[in-house]
DNA sequence: TGTTAGCACTCTATTTGAACGAGTGCTAAT
DNA sequence: ATTAGCACTCGTTCAAATAGAGTGCTAACA
């Protein structure tokens, strides 16, 4: 469909625009190394490329700017995988240099480094804790009528919640209850807790515990684990540096979206499978993301889980570099988080 | 020092500027209700007020703008406590409408509502968890060589940390160790944990536990509780709406400061005592806060603790309204958090 | 003596027009 | 098929002109 020359020109235009953020004109193109055509020839090709929808003009006599279709083609067909600098790679590896035992810390550091390496905004979503299984349930009474319930999962994730004890609960009964719950719930994925509570547990409790209904209600509330996991961000403010967001209204729109995390989940959540996914501009289906691209890397974690790494940047983003970085980091993260989780997996 | 007329004029100028963000001229002032002086008279008074340092001009022939000294005087002497709308008050009370058992949830909701009510940024710092006392220490083994340590405080605060067990630790010994630690540490404030570990505990352990040194080290690491508590924010992006931050560079400076929480602690941390404190512009001693004021409300929580509520806005902020709102909310929060903590206090 | 009207002056913001430059599209020559 | 050349378009920059808001000062007034 496209001639070699058109491919070349399209590629150079996009590369140039990504660097400069300025519309690219035929004359400046013709002076580039590797281009031996005259500006007139280039103009003709540009005109054709525009007609095909790969390029746009900002006004009648301006240089050309890639369209979303242009970026899409660029990402799908023209991207030459960029070789990362050794420096960058070792910076990524440095995240895992010292043995860390907290998933949160690893992920937080990853997000930070990734944003510093790209100057874009990074978003990381860890493994879905809903699939983790209960390892242990504990209750620490604080006072006559309140207590803290703590659920530890096989992955080392800890959820805790304060709840009120039904009046006149005595310590023995509470302990008995906790033992009962542990017997029933250990090994159950968090997402199934509610079900279990209302089915198996309810029946059992009725038999063994005095005022079982209030107790049940209290525990049911506790087991209501949030569906969404925490998102980790790096460089939240980096988009302010991008010229496309020098307009404060556009900036606000985007920032507000970033702050309301709910709207981000559908964008970040691994669709299916693993690997890199690039969503350009309107492909994200979100007004605030008009001028943004989102590159998501989904990676496997031991035990059938998945994690997701994302970079949010302007459509004019360094796709090649970002994809390379994501590849490296997602492999590292996959390994690191798996080993963190594996330990709990192989003892079952 | 200042005549009644000067006081009136200063007050009206500041009130007007707070609303409009525009320099106030003599003519527009003279046409205001409650002002019966001619523009010429007002000009003379303005000139005097400027000479005294309460007003400034943005350029030679512009209207007047309050100086920081002007705001300071306004806050100290001219502020008429604003009567809040019933609607606002009930919105604040609504935070506490249903019984909530999590400090985090209450505080997060407070921050959100406060920012919505003011259109500024709200920052809340809960009670200092360093002063909380250990209620219970628990260890949940995950695997042969890793375990989760959980510390529950008397206030219901839960800290958890993953750590690696020394090779060949057996379950009995671990349990023994945990029992020992509990005996020694229950009732100790978090801030003193490190001390205790290295003094009392070390000696004790050497007597009872096999490879006590590795174990000790592991626990010492665990007990290293962060000094700073989490800050809760509301309306982080609200400063974008303020005309003084239409300049994207100023905005970035401020936002970067907000994001690096460490720099905020010294500003928010209750100096001493309780009550409202207003810091205007340079009084905050921070370049990024040049055009900002910070109003802090420190309130008591049962057990000698303190919490802090802060509003970050432009120096041109609605001091009166914000102070009123902070007064109401800080009283509510004081009550709510105290009752959350009181329960654990009165059983000791 | 305090207040005010009037006026000259200053500075900003906005508009206008001219000049420039970067770019395009088209045509004709190579 | 390619390219040189030219007319044309549009955005940007600069300076000058203008309008408007505001000040400071002086002189008149009550």
**How many CB atoms sit inside 10 A of residue A230's CB?**
14
The answer to whether residues A316 and A345 touch, using CB atoms and an 8 Å cutoff, is no
**DSSP secondary-structure letter at A263?**
G
Q: What is the CATH number of the domain that holds B336?
A: 3.30.450.40
Backbone angles phi, psi at A300, to 5 degrees: -80, 150
Q: Which of B163, B246, B259 sits opposite A237 (nearest CB)?
A: B259
> Does the nearest atom of strand C lie within 7 Å of A47's Cβ?
yes
Claim to verify: residue A236 and residue A296 sit in the same structural domain: yes
Q: Is the predicted pLDDT of residue A236 greater than 80, yes or no?
A: yes
Same domain, A249 and A176: no
Instruction: For residue B328, give Cα distances in angstroms to B57, B276, B333, B342.
Output: 36, 11, 9, 21
Q: Are residues A160 and A217 in the same domain?
A: yes
Residue B159 sits at φ, ψ, to 5 deg, of -115, 140
As a whole number of angstroms, the distance between CA A109 and CA B229 comes to 19
Residue-wise pLDDT for A216-230, tens only, equals 888 888 888 888 889
Instruction: Say yes or no: A173 and A100 in one domain.
Output: no
Question: Which of A33-47, A249-263, B260-274 is predicted with the least confidence, judged by mean pLDDT?
Answer: B260-274
Cβ of B43 near strand D (distance < 7 A)? yes
Side-chain half-sphere CA neighbours of A41 within 13 A: 10
| Residue B36, both tokens | 């019966």
Domain boundary among A188, A222, A256: A222
Taking a C-beta distance cutoff of 8 angstroms, is the pair B315, B254 a contact?
no
As ranges, strand C nucleotides with an atom below 7 A of a protein CB are 3-6, 9-12, 21-27
pLDDT at B346: 41
| Same domain (yes/no): A91, A103 | yes
Q: Residue range A140-157: average pLDDT?
A: 91
- Which residues are CB-contacts of A92 (< 8 A; sequence separation ≥ 6)? A113, A117, A325, A328, A329, A332
Domain of A189: which CATH number?
Answer: 3.30.390.60
Q: Which of A61, A78, A95 is the last residue of a domain?
A: A78
pLDDT string in tens for chain B (348-residue length): 899 999 999 999 999 999 999 999 999 999 998 899 999 999 999 999 999 999 999 999 999 999 999 999 999 999 988 899 999 999 999 999 887 778 999 999 999 999 999 999 999 999 889 999 999 999 999 988 889 999 999 999 999 999 888 887 888 888 888 998 999 999 999 999 999 888 888 887 777 766 777 778 888 888 888 888 899 999 999 999 999 999 888 999 999 999 998 889 989 986 778 899 999 999 999 999 999 999 999 999 988 889 999 999 999 999 999 999 999 999 999 999 998 876 543 433
Whether the pLDDT of residue A310 is over 60: the answer is yes
Is residue B60 packed enough to be buried (19+ CB in 10 Å), middle (13-18) or exposed (0-12)?
A: exposed
pLDDT on residue A100: 73
Which ranges constitute the DSSP H helices of chain B?
Answer: 4-20, 26-30, 39-51, 68-73, 86-94, 103-118, 171-185, 193-196, 202-208, 212-222, 248-259, 265-268, 319-345
A197: DSSP letter: I
Name the closest residue (CA) to the C1' of nucleotide C6.
B40
Contact B161 A101 (CB under 8 A): yes
Chain A partners within 8 Å of B240 (Cβ)? 248, 251-252, 255
Using CA coordinates, name the residue in chain A closest to B165.
A101
Question: Is residue A121 exposed (0-12), middle (13-18) or buried (19+ Cβ within 10 Å)?
Answer: buried
Beta-strand relationship, A64-66 and A121-125:
unpaired
Give the residue among B264, B273, B276, B274 at the shortest CA–CA distance from B326.
B276
Question: Taking an 8 Å Cβ-Cβ cutoff, which residues of chain A contact chain B?
Answer: 99, 101-102, 135-136, 138, 140, 142-146, 148, 150, 152, 154, 156, 158, 160-164, 236-237, 240-241, 246, 248, 251-252, 255-256, 259, 343-344, 346-347
Q: What are phi and psi of A242, to 5 degrees?
A: -80, 130
Helix (H, G, I), strand (E, B) or coil at A277: strand
Q: Are residues B239 and B341 in the same domain?
A: yes
Q: Do B101 and A163 touch (CB under 8 A)?
A: yes
Which one of B138, B236, B240 has the shortest CB-CB distance to A248?
B240
- A67 vs A53: CA distance, rounded Å: 7
Q: Closest to A236 (Cβ–Cβ): which among B162, B259, B344?
A: B259
Which residues does chain A have within 8 Å of residue B160's beta carbon, measured at their own beta carbons?
152, 158, 160
Looking at the structure, do residues A107 and A241 belong to the same domain, yes or no?
yes
The number of C-beta contacts closer than 8 angstroms across A and B is: 101
Query: In degrees, to the nearest 5, what angle opens at C-alpha A311 toward C-alphas A315 and A14?
Result: 30
Residue of chain B whose Cα is closest to the Cα of A239: B252
Q: How confident is the model at residue A9 (pLDDT cuts 50, 70, 90)?
A: very high
Q: Percent of chain A scored above 90 by pLDDT?
A: 68
The average pLDDT across A126-134 equals 91
Strand C atom within 7 Å of A211 CB: no
> A164, B236: Cβ pair inside 8 Å?
no
Residues in B touching A178 (Cβ below 8 Å) = none
Tell me the pLDDT tens digit for each residue of A62-91.
999 999 999 999 999 999 888 999 999 999
Distance CA B348, CA B339 (A): 15
What's the pLDDT at A338?
A: 92
> What is the nearest CA distance from B344 to chain A, expressed in angstroms?
6
| Same domain, residue pair B46 and B98 | no
Pick the closest to residue B281 from B310, B251, B312 (CA basis).
B312
Tell whether A20 and A65 lie within a shared domain.
yes
* Number of domains comprising chain B: 3
Q: What pLDDT does A150 receive? A: 96
Q: Cβ separation of B152 and A140 shorter than 8 Å?
A: yes
A106's enclosing H/E stretch is helix A103-118
**C1' (D7) to CA (B167) span, angstroms:** 85
Asked if B151 and B159 count as a contact pair (C-beta separation under 8 A), the reply is: yes
A313 and A238 within one domain: yes
**CATH assignment of the domain containing A56:** 1.10.10.10
Name the closest residue on chain B to residue A246, using Cα atoms. Answer: B248
pLDDT at A177 over 90: no
Tally Cβ neighbours within 10 Å of residue A53: 12
Residues A138, B146: C-beta atoms closer than 8 Å:
no
Please state the separation of Cα A69 from the chain's center in Å.
24
Percent of chain A at pLDDT > 70 equals: 97
Among candidates B135, B140, B256 on the partner chain, residue whose Cβ is nearest the Cβ of A136 = B140
B174 is in which domain, residue-wise?
Answer: 130-222
Q: How far is B109 from chain A (nearest CA, A)?
A: 14
8 A C-beta contact, residue B270 and residue B308:
yes
**Domain check: are A296 and A322 in the same one?**
yes
| Strand C contact residues in chain A (54-113), C-beta within 7 Å | 57, 61-64
Q: Which of A142, A163, A246 sits opposite B344 (nearest CB)?
A: A142
User: Residue B287 — φ and ψ, nearest 5°?
Assistant: -55, -40
pLDDT at A238 over 90: yes
Q: Quick check: A46 CB within 7 A of strand C? A: yes
List the beta bridge partners of residue A233: A123
Comparing CA positions, the residue from B325, B270, B334 lying closest to residue B300 is B334
The pairing of strands B64-66 and B55-57 is: antiparallel
Interface of B with A (CB under 8 A): 99, 101-102, 135-136, 138, 140, 142-146, 148, 150, 152, 154, 156, 158, 160-164, 236-237, 240-241, 246, 248, 251-252, 255-256, 259, 343-344, 346-347
DSSP state of A114: H
Same domain, A31 and A107: no
d(CA A96, CA A90): 10
Segment A146-157 shows an average pLDDT of 93
- Closest-CA residue to B157 (of A178, A157, A102, A162): A162
Mean pLDDT, all residues of chain A: 91
Mean pLDDT, rounded, for A48-59: 96
The residue among B165, B191, B222 that closes a domain is B222
Find and give the residue nearest to D10, measured CA to C1': A61
């Amino acid at each position: 469909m496209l001639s070699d020359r058109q491919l070349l020109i399209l590629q150079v235009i996009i590369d140039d625009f990504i660097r400069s953020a300025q519309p690219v004109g035929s004359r400046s193109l013709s002076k580039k190394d590797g281009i031996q055509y005259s500006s007139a020839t280039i103009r003709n090709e540009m005109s054709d490329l525009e007609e095909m929808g790969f390029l746009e003009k900002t006004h009648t006599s301006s240089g050309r700017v890639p369209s979303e279709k242009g970026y899409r083609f660029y990402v799908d067909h023209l991207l030459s995988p960029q070789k990362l600098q050794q420096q960058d790679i070792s910076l990524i590896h440095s995240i895992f240099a010292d043995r860390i035992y907290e998933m949160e810390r690893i992920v937080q550091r990853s997000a930070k480094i990734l944003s510093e390496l790209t100057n874009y905004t990074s978003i990381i979503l860890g493994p879905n804790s809903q699939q983790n299984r209960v390892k242990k349930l504990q209750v620490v009474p604080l006072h006559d009528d309140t207590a803290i319930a703590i659920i530890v999962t096989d992955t080392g994730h800890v959820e805790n919640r304060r709840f009120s004890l039904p009046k006149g609960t005595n310590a023995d009964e509470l302990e008995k209850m906790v033992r009962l719950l542990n017997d029933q719930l250990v090994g159950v994925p968090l997402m199934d807790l509610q079900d279990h509570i209302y089915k198996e547990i309810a029946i059992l409790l009725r038999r063994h515990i005095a005022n079982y209904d209030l107790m049940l209600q209290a525990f049911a509330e506790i087991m209501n684990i949030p569906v969404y996991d925490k998102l980790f961000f790096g460089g939240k403010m980096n988009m302010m540096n991008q010229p496309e967001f020098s307009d404060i209204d556009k900036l606000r729109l985007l920032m507000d979206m970033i702050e309301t995390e709910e709207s981000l989940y559908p964008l970040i959540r691994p669709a299916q499978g693993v690997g890199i996914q690039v969503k350009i501009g309107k492909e994200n289906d979100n007004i605030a993301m008009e001028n943004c691209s989102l590159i998501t890397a989904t990676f496997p974690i031991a035990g059938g889980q998945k994690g997701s790494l994302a970079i949010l940047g302007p459509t004019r983003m360094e796709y090649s570099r970002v994809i390379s970085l994501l590849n490296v980091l997602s492999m590292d993260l996959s390994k690191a988080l798996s080993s963190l989780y594996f330990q709990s997996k192989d003892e079952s």
